Each structure stands twice: as structure tokens, then as C-alpha cells.
Amino acid sequence: MARQYTPISKQRIADLVVLLLLTSLVAIYCVDAINASTDILNLILVLPVTLIVLVLCLVQFVSAVANIRVATEDRERFVDVVPVAGLFAAYVLSLPWLGFDIGTCLFLGAFLWLHGERRWPWLFGYSMSFAFVLSIFFSKMLPYSMPMLILPVAAG
Amino acid sequence: MIETASLLAAVEILFSSASPWLIVIPGIVIGLVFGAVPGLQISTAMAIFLPMTLYMDFMQAMLFLTAIFTGGGFGGSIPAILMNIPGTSSAIATAFDGYPMSRQGQHNVALGLALGSSCIGVIVGYTILFVLISPISELVLKIGPAEMTVVILWGITLIGSLSSGSLLKGVISGLVGLLIGTIGYSEAGVTRGTFGSTYLLDGVAVIPAMIGMFAASELFRLVKTEYLIEDSAARNVSVRLILKGFRRALAHPWIVLRGSLIGVFVGAVPGVGSSVANLLSYMATKRSSPAPESFGKGNPEGVIASEAANSTSEAGSLATLLALGIPGGGATAVMLAAFAMHNITGGPQFIREETDVVYAIIIANFGQAVLLIGLGLVLIPVLANVIKVPMNYLVPSVLAIAVFGAFGLTGDLSGPVTVLVFSVLGWLFKRYGYSVPAAVIGILLGGMAEDSVIYSYQISGGQWSYLLERPMALAILALLVASLFGTRLVDILKRRVAA
């Protein structure tokens, strides 16, 4: 990736926000662990590691703020990634209702449509065949039943 | 150390008829396919086909299961190289340089390198096992929680050297991963970080998290790419180039030998084994390279180092199983079940009384390595065609396979949800310069690290002097320090001598 140097930007603010997010998550986890029990067996690793992470995050924060210019990398655009991540989230979260067969078929079809596939035989043919072959293969291979809407729910 | 009579008996067992070998080829193919499909573990393949071994004699059963093990060991490198999805945790380091090589159109060479170093690694690893099975097993018996802690610490210190960007962010990533790895029930009998979710009681599902962080996050970044390899001319699958890669692996005997030694000894450590061995070998190769900055950007030596170690760690884990009857991981646990099905108990007595069978198993693995070369050369060109698929088809298909595979690993929807959560986390990590591999290593070793620290604390009563009574732990600690500062120290000494 080509490196370039830019002045303070939205990107740098985003870097700091991500750092703060990580710091907060680590702190919340540690507080949750302390609330659960102050027994040494519960905190013997979590507490020291959390303290080290918090110190390192502080150092990173200070060095990021102190630097007037920051190294940035070419990054993919948010608008390209967010719809895909959203679609993937919808696919995974709808599996209990749509099942692996129909859920996968719809996910593939929607993804292909979103990325410019307009040939209906390909759109339907690929989505359905791939989803059903995959569903049948895994349902036969796995020792537990998978949620399905159309295909029979049977352990392999 | 080698008993000639038993050796001759082993040769007779294996070569007096073709029947023991008939099941080896299907075994390797099964392993290759299961290893190459993300989410389908080698141990899953072995468990699925375990009932079939009831109809075989013990020797055939062991050949069949080790063939799956051998095929799967290499199979995991195929998705790691082509799609940045380590098929198993032992192929993590293979993806570091294998995937960049693929993106540069060198996928054929990378696959050949992986095949070559895997096959040679298996041969070297089993040769070491053949000669040293008894000393290795005695060594494994001396490994206590203190040694485990130090081995894990060794794994965690890889973080610094694996981070191609900011070292600080690399360490933060690794430690955040370590904390994620401790989510769930603790030894104190309480739950942490589950936020009321019953899915997290046993902790975060490691392999789905790994698939999410490595693969799904990478696929998010590639959505606007037309093909995995932009240059259409470089997209060809060429057996000639695969063979070129294979030969290139032979040109680095020292890297293969070092990886094999690391693989066989670290692989023998129950639980940690292959997950750490490939990283240690990768780190050692990177540190000793005159161009360490080229690692992570498509350096062939990185692929050789990782594959030599992970294929050899199979021999190490088999040593623990045969000599002590202790399975080091899922795959050897299935083998232990096969032992039980044939009324055989692994351990020192088994090695002493059935030396010919032990030798036969080891010699059979040499044959499997040779067969793997042929089968690999036939199957790789078929599997490598994935790079010719347009990304708008490949991205949703691989994401769907990842979701199915994750369900297969957990048996419920926590697997797919884990892939989703960690794909977003992995994408954020990559976007903002945090190290995904370091975080994954942390997640992999978090639970184990906590257990080892607790056991060490309980045994030592909180006294640091306990460590001084553990020479092996001190030796590993010295190795850790040497691996971290050794190169720098040598440089300083060289400069002083030159001055």
C-alpha cells in the first residue's frame, strides 16, 4: 500500500476513536471481572494484562495526539464496505428464521445483485445451486441438525 | 535407540501385502479436502470416518487416520494461501506470506512451496520421532504448568516480531486478544465478559473468531476488486510453477530443518503444539533473515518455515500419544479413540512391547509423505482454480462457507455470530493498523495462558523461586530471550568486533 503523509484529518480522529473504543472495551471487561469476583484466581491474568493494555493505549494516544502529521494508508471506502457488512449481518442474524438453505440463497442473490450481476439465470441459478449444495453437504457431514426452511432438517 | 528386530518386523507388517496401503490414498484425499474447506477440521474428518476403522485391523486403522492427519495438515495451507483463510490454526503463519504471494500472482509457487516443505517436513519430523521417540516422551513428562506458561509467553512475544506496522499497536492487539481468550467461566467459578449471553459461557469460539478476523474482514476489503489476482495472465494454474515452488522448498534445507525441529518438539506439548510451532518457526526464520522487512509481504521463506513446522508437529503430537497415551489435540484424541476401539492402550508399555507397530506407523508416514506429493500435484491445480472466480461470486460464496463451517464447529448459531462479530472487529483492526495475527494468537492462547498461570501459582504458592527449580522452564525462557534479543546482540557484537 502506498504510504502518504497528510495533516490532521478525519482519519486521524477515527484512529483515536478506535483506540478509545478498544480502551473502553478492555476497561469494561476488567470491571466486569472485578465485579464478578475479586478472587485471585479470577484476576490473576485479567487484571495485570488489562493494566498493561491501558498503559500502552495511553502511550499510543499521547503519541498519536503529539504527532502533527500522521502516516496513513490507502483505505477502502466506507460506502463500499458498509452495505456488504450489513448484508452479511442480516444473513447471519436471519438464519434462525430463514434457515441455511433459503438464507444463503437470498444472501448470495442479494450480494450478486448489489455488485452488478443482472443476468437472471446466473443470479438465480448460482444462488440456488450453491446454497442447496452447500446446505446438503454440511447437513450430511455434521452430526447435528441445521436450521432449514425447505430442505429436510436431518443430522448426517 | 533403534531396535533392528522390531524395525524388520515393521517392514514386514507394512510391505508383506498391499492391504495396509489401500486405505492411505483415500485417507490423504479426505484430509486434503477437509483441510481445504474452511471450518471443516481435520479432527472432524477423523471423527466422521472413525467408525469405518472398526472394520479394519489396528495397523490399517492407524494408517487411515494418520493419512487423514497428513493430508489435512497440508490441506489447511490451500485456503490460507489462496484466500487468507487458515484452514486450521496451525496454518496461520502460512497465510502471512502465502496470501500476499497469491495476490502478486505467485499462487502456484506458494502452493508448491507449501507442498514441498510439508512433505519434507513430515519426512524429517518422523525421522526425528523414529530416533528420539523415547527421549521426547520423557521430555514431555517434565512439562508442567510453569513450562506451559513460558511456552505460551513465547507465543505471545511473537506479537512484537509479527507486527509489520506499529509495534505498540501489535502488542495492544495481542493483549486484547489474550483478554478475549479469557472470556467465560473462570477458575474462581464465576463468569466474566459474557454480558448475560449463554453462548459465551465456554468462552469465545476460537476458530470461528479466527475465520472472522482473517477471512471475512479481508473479503470486506476486497469487495470492489474484480479478481483475487488483478493481472489476468497471472491467474493461470500451472503444474510447472507448482513444481518450481516445490523445488524451491528443497533449496532451503536449513529453514525446513529448523521448522521441523521446532515442530516436532513444540508439537509434542499437549494443547499448544501445532498452533504455536508454525509461529515460532516463522519468527525464527524472519529474525535470521537478512531482509526481515520482506516478511508478511510475500516472502517464500515464510511459507516454508510455517509449513515445515506445522506438518512436523503432527509427528510431535503422535509421539505424545504413542509414548504417553496423551492426546495433544482433537486429531490425536480421535486416534486415542481408535486405540480404545482396538483394545490398545498407548503409553511406555505400548512402546516397549509393540515397538514393531510403532515403527510401522512411523515408516508408513514416510510413504504417506511421498504419496502426498503425487496427490497434492493432482489436486492442487483443481483446488487452485478458485482464483479464476470473479470476486463478486467468490466473496459471498466464501462468506457463506465460513458461516456453514462456523456452525459446524460450534453446533449452534454462536459460531456464525462469532464470525460476524470478529469479521467487523478484524476489518477495524486492519483498517486502523492493529495486528490481526497478534490478536488471533492472543485469543488462541488466552484461556490456556490463564490456566497455566493459575496452576503455577497454586503449585508454587506464589513464590517466584519456584521457577528456579524448573530447569526446563528456565531453558525455554532463555530461548525466548535469545529469540527476542539474540539477533540484536549478535549485531552489536559484530559491530564491536569490526570497530
Nearest to B423 among A22, A40, A88 (CB): A88
Between B188 and B303, residue with greater pLDDT:
B303
Arithmetic mean of pLDDT over chain B = 82
Is the distance from CB of B45 to CB of B64 less than 8 angstroms?
no
Radius of gyration of chain A (CA): 23
pTM reported for the whole predicted model = 0.73
Q: DSSP letters along chain A, please?
A: --EEEE-S-HHHHHHHHHHHHHHHHHHHHHHHHHHH---HHHHTTHHHHHHHHHHHHHHHHHHHHH-SSEEEE----HHHHHHHHHHHHHHHHHHHHHHHHHHHHHHHHHHHHHTT---HHHHHHHHHHHHHHHHHHHHHHSSS----SSS-----
Cα B260 to its chain centre, rounded Å, is 12
CA atoms within 13 A on the CB side of A50: 19
Partners of B42 in beta bridges: none
Is the distance from CB of B113 to CB of B248 less than 8 angstroms?
yes
Nearest CA in chain B to A16: B432
pLDDT digits (tens, 9 = 90+) for A136-147: 988 887 778 889
pLDDT digits (tens, 9 = 90+) for A59-76: 988 888 776 455 555 566
Is the distance from CB of B75 to CB of B34 less than 8 angstroms?
yes
- Residue of A17, A22, A57, A148 for testing the chain B interface, max B β-carbons within 10 Å: A22
**Do A49 and B168 count as a contact with CB atoms less than 8 A apart?**
no
Closest by CA to B446, choosing from B147, B152, B146, B88, is B152
Q: How far is B400 from chain A (nearest CA, A)?
A: 7
Is the distance from CB of B245 to CB of B112 less than 8 angstroms?
yes
Place of cell 506464589: B462
CA atoms within 13 A on the CB side of B183: 25
- Per-residue pLDDT, averaged over A109-122, amounts to 91
**Do A112 and B393 count as a contact with CB atoms less than 8 A apart?**
yes
Partners of B71 in beta bridges: none
In chain B, the percentage of residues whose pLDDT exceeds 70 is 88
What are the cell numbers at A34?
A: 472485578
Partners of A71 in beta bridges: A5
- Residues in chain B with CB shorter than 8 Å from the CB of A113 are none
**Do B223 and A53 count as a contact with CB atoms less than 8 A apart?**
no
Place of cell 481468550: B181
CA dist., res. B297 & res. B103, Å (int) = 10
pLDDT digits (tens, 9 = 90+) for B337-382: 788 788 887 766 777 778 888 888 888 888 888 999 999 888 888 8
The residues spanned by each domain of chain A are 1-74, 75-156
pLDDT digits (tens, 9 = 90+) for B67-106: 998 888 888 888 888 888 776 777 888 988 999 998 888 8
Between B72 and B499, residue with greater pLDDT:
B72
**Do B392 and A111 count as a contact with CB atoms less than 8 A apart?**
yes
Residue type at B342 in one-letter notation: H
**Do A46 and B182 count as a contact with CB atoms less than 8 A apart?**
yes
Partners of B191 in beta bridges: B185
**Do B416 and A73 count as a contact with CB atoms less than 8 A apart?**
no
Place of cell 519430523: B125
Q: Rounded to the nearest 10 degrees, what angle do helices B273-288 and B145-162 cross at?
A: 50
For chains A and B, CB pairs below 8 A equal 164
Phi, psi of A72 (to 5 degrees): -125, 160
Residue type at B282 in one-letter notation: Y
Q: Which ipTM score applies to this complex? A: 0.89
**Do B400 and A26 count as a contact with CB atoms less than 8 A apart?**
no
**Do B223 and A81 count as a contact with CB atoms less than 8 A apart?**
yes
Query: Residue B339: how many CB atoms within 10 A of its CB?
Result: 21
Nearest CA in chain B to A116: B392
Between B307 and B76, residue with greater pLDDT:
B307
Residue type at B303 in one-letter notation: V
Identify the burial level of B177 via C-beta atoms within 10 angstroms of its C-beta, where 0-12 means exposed, 13-18 middle and 19 or more buried. buried
At residue B183, the pLDDT reads 94
At residue B198, the pLDDT reads 85
Closest by CA to B312, choosing from B245, B256, B364, is B256
Beta carbons within 8 Å of B414's beta carbon, 6+ residues apart: B199, B200, B205, B208
- Residues in chain B with CB shorter than 8 Å from the CB of A147 are 413
- Taking 80 as the threshold, does the pLDDT of residue B386 lie above it? no
- Residues in chain A with CB shorter than 8 Å from the CB of B453 are 44-45
- Residues in chain B with CB shorter than 8 Å from the CB of A132 are none
Which range, of A103-107, B198-202, B384-388, averages the lowest pLDDT?
A: B384-388
Torsion of CA B59, B265, B272, B289, to 10 degrees: -130
- Per-residue pLDDT, averaged over B453-475, amounts to 81
Closest by CA to B228, choosing from B79, B116, B328, is B79
Nearest CA in chain A to B224: A80
Widest Cα–Cα separation across chain A: 62
- Residue of B149, B192, B389, B460 for testing the chain A interface, max A β-carbons within 10 Å: B192
- Residues in chain B with CB shorter than 8 Å from the CB of A116 are 392
Is the distance from CB of B324 to CB of B141 less than 8 angstroms?
yes
- Residues in chain B with CB shorter than 8 Å from the CB of A106 are none
Q: How far is A43 from chain B (nearest CA, A)?
A: 9
At residue A55, the pLDDT reads 95
Is the distance from CB of B234 to CB of B98 less than 8 angstroms?
no
- Residue of A12, A41, A55 for testing the chain B interface, max B β-carbons within 10 Å: A41
Radius of gyration of chain B (CA): 22
- Taking 80 as the threshold, does the pLDDT of residue B41 lie above it? no
Between B459 and A8, residue with greater pLDDT:
B459
At residue B38, the pLDDT reads 63
Cα B339–B342–B348 angle (5° rounding)?
A: 45
- Taking 50 as the threshold, does the pLDDT of residue A1 lie above it? no
Cα B181–B182–B184 angle (5° rounding)?
A: 110
In chain B, the percentage of residues whose pLDDT exceeds 90 is 13
Q: How confident is the model at residue A78 (pLDDT cuts 50, 70, 90)?
A: confident
Q: How confident is the model at residue A29 (pLDDT cuts 50, 70, 90)?
A: very high
pLDDT digits (tens, 9 = 90+) for B404-440: 888 887 888 999 999 999 999 999 998 888 888 778 8
Widest Cα–Cα separation across chain B: 71
- Residues in chain A with CB shorter than 8 Å from the CB of B413 are 92, 95-96, 147
**Do A53 and B172 count as a contact with CB atoms less than 8 A apart?**
yes
- Taking 50 as the threshold, does the pLDDT of residue A2 lie above it? no
CA dist., res. B350 & res. A26, Å (int) = 49
CA dist., res. B246 & res. B59, Å (int) = 31
B3-36 residues labelled b (16+ CB within 10 A) or e (exposed): eeebbebbeebbeeeeebbebbeebbbbbbbbbb
Arithmetic mean of pLDDT over chain A = 85
Closest by CA to B45, choosing from B30, B58, B63, is B30
Is the distance from CB of B138 to CB of B274 less than 8 angstroms?
no
Nearest CA in chain A to B403: A92
At residue B84, the pLDDT reads 81
Is the distance from CB of B152 to CB of B272 less than 8 angstroms?
yes
Q: How far is A8 from chain B (nearest CA, A)?
A: 15
- Residues in chain B with CB shorter than 8 Å from the CB of A140 are none
- Residue of A11, A138, A144, A145 for testing the chain B interface, max B β-carbons within 10 Å: A138
Closest by CA to B138, choosing from B340, B339, B1, is B1
CA dist., res. B310 & res. B330, Å (int) = 15
Closest by CA to A112, choosing from A94, A136, A96, A129, is A129
